[in-house]
Structure 1
Amino acid sequence: MSLYRIAKGAVSAVFFPLFRIRVIGKENVPENGPVIICSNHISNFDPPVVGITSPRDIYFMAKGELFEKPFLGKLLTGIHAFPVKRGMSDRNALRKGLKILEQGNTLGLFPEGTRSKTGRLGKPLAGAGFFALRSKAAIIPCAVIGPYKPGSKLTVVYGEAMNMEAYREKKASAKEAAEAIMEEIGNLIENYYSQHASLDK
C-alpha cells in the first residue's frame, strides 16, 4: 500500500469523526482523465480535508521551503505534494503541474494562494487560470464550509465541472479564468447556505 493511501486512511479516521465531515457532490468529480480541483482556503487543514473527501488521489503544491528538510521533503513527495515558490510564478512547478494533468491525474489548487484569515473569499492568483487554460482538465470548483471545531459540522461541496472553452476561444487571460473559477466557488458557498444550511441544525 502506498504512503498516500496509508496517510489518507489515517487522516480520514481522525478528521471525519472529529469535524463531522459531510461531503456533497462527490459524484461531480470525473472518475477518469485529468482533473483540477479548485477550493477556497480557510485553514491549514484544507489540503488534507480536500484530499480525504475527493474520490481521486490529488497532487498538491506545497511551499518550497518545506522540502528543504530531508525527512519532511520525502514525506511530502510520498503523499503527492510538490514544491512551489510563493506567488505561483515558479516555472518548474507550473511544468510539473501540467505534466501531472497530461498523465491524467488530479491537481488540487487553492486559487487564493494563501488561507483567508476572515473566512471570506479573497482575490485569486493567476495560477489556477493558467492550468485551466493550458490543459484539457475538468475544472471542479470546491467549497470547504464551516468552522474547524471538534464536534461542529464541516461540509465539503464539489460543484459541476466548469466549461472553460469559451475562455480559451476568446483568449482570456489566466487572471480572468482564475476569477471565473473563484466566482463559481463563491456560488457554491452561497447556494449551500440558501439550500442546505438547515442540515446543520
Structure 2
Amino acid sequence: MLKVFRIFTKAFFKFEVIGKENIPEEGNLIIAANHKSNLDPIFIASAVNKKRKMTAVAKEELFKNKILAAILNKVEIIPINRTNPGLGTIKRILKYIKNNYALVMFPEGTRSKTDDFNDAKAGLSLFATKAKAEIIPCTIYSSYKLFKPAKVYFGEPISLEEYYKQKLTSEDHARIAGEVMNVIKDNYYKLEKGEIK
C-alpha cells in the first residue's frame, strides 16, 4: 500500500521531502502535522523512510464504510472516538508507539477548512508524555492541485522529557500541544517564503 502511495504522489504532484534525516529509524516517536486535506496522510506515508513502521488514528466513523475500513485496517490505522476516546483505545495507541511504530497525528484534530490553522488538541502532549516519545513537527505545504508542488518538511525532534514526571492537567497538555503546533505553523510560513529548502 505504501508503495502505491509513493507512486501516486510522484506521478501526480511535484512532490518534495525535506528533513527526512530528522526522523530516527527507531525509538518512541510521534509525527505531528498540520491538516488541510484528506491527502495529508498519503503525503506523510510517502515521505517517511521505508524502514520506519507507522500507524495513525482516524475518526471511527470512517470505519463504517467496509471498503475503506479494510484499507485502513490493512495499513494499521486505529479508530478513535474523537470526543470520548476509551481507555482501551488509548492503551492500544501507546502499545503501538512502544513497539517502535511512529504514530502520525494531526494535533488540530480535524481538517482546517480555511487558510488558517485550528487550535491543537491536548492528545498530542498526552500520548507523547505517556509513551515518552519524541515529536517530529511535520509541515505540509501544498495547494493539493494535481501536478502542483507538494512539500513535506520534517523539523528537528522535540522532547517533552521535562514533563515526564509532572502531573499535567488537560490545560497543560493543550498548551504544550499548542507550542508544538506553533513550530509547525512557523515552518509553514517559512516554506511559503522559500526560507526552507
Q: TM-score, normalised by structure 1?
A: 0.87
Query: What CA deviation, in whole Å up to 9, does each residue of 1:73-121 have, x standing for no partner?
Result: 2321111111101236333222111010111211000000100111322
Amino acid at match of 1:123: D
Are 1:77 and 2:73 matched, yes or no?
yes
**CA distance in 1: counterparts of 2:84 and 2:29, whole angstroms:** 19
Q: TM-score, normalised by structure 2?
A: 0.89
Amino acid at match of 1:143: T
Are 1:36 and 2:30 matched, yes or no?
yes
Q: 3, 7, 11: which one pairs with 1:9?
A: 3
**Aligned in 2, Cα 1:119/1:50: closer, same or farther, shift over 3 Å?**
farther
Q: How far off its partner does 1:192 sit?
A: 2.4
Amino acid at match of 2:83: G
Q: Percent identity?
A: 32
**CA distance in 2: counterparts of 1:62 and 1:92, whole angstroms:** 15
Which stretch shifts more, 165-174 or 13-22? 165-174
Are 1:50 and 2:44 matched, yes or no?
yes
Q: 92, 96, 101: which one pairs with 1:96?
A: 92
Partner of 2:184: 185
Q: How far off its partner does 1:169 sit?
A: 5.2
Q: How far off its partner does 1:124 sit?
A: 0.9
Are 1:165 and 2:164 matched, yes or no?
no
**Aligned in 2, Cα 1:88/1:157: closer, same or farther, shift over 3 Å?**
farther
**CA distance in 1: counterparts of 2:67 and 2:40, whole angstroms:** 22
Flag structure 2 segments of 5+ consecutive residues without an equivalent: none
**Aligned in 2, Cα 1:47/1:97: closer, same or farther, shift over 3 Å?**
same
**CA distance in 1: counterparts of 2:84 and 2:20, whole angstroms:** 27
Amino acid at match of 1:54: V
Compare the two structures and name the one with the higher helix fraction.
1
SS in 2 for 1:196: coil
**CA distance in 1: counterparts of 2:130 and 2:19, whole angstroms:** 26
Query: How large is the RMSD of aligned CA atoms in angstroms?
Result: 1.9
**CA distance in 1: counterparts of 2:84 and 2:176, whole angstroms:** 15
Which stretch shifts more, 109-118 or 51-60? 51-60
SS in 2 for 1:181: helix
How many residues in Structure 1 have an aligned counterpart in Structure 2?
A: 192
Partner of 1:23: 17
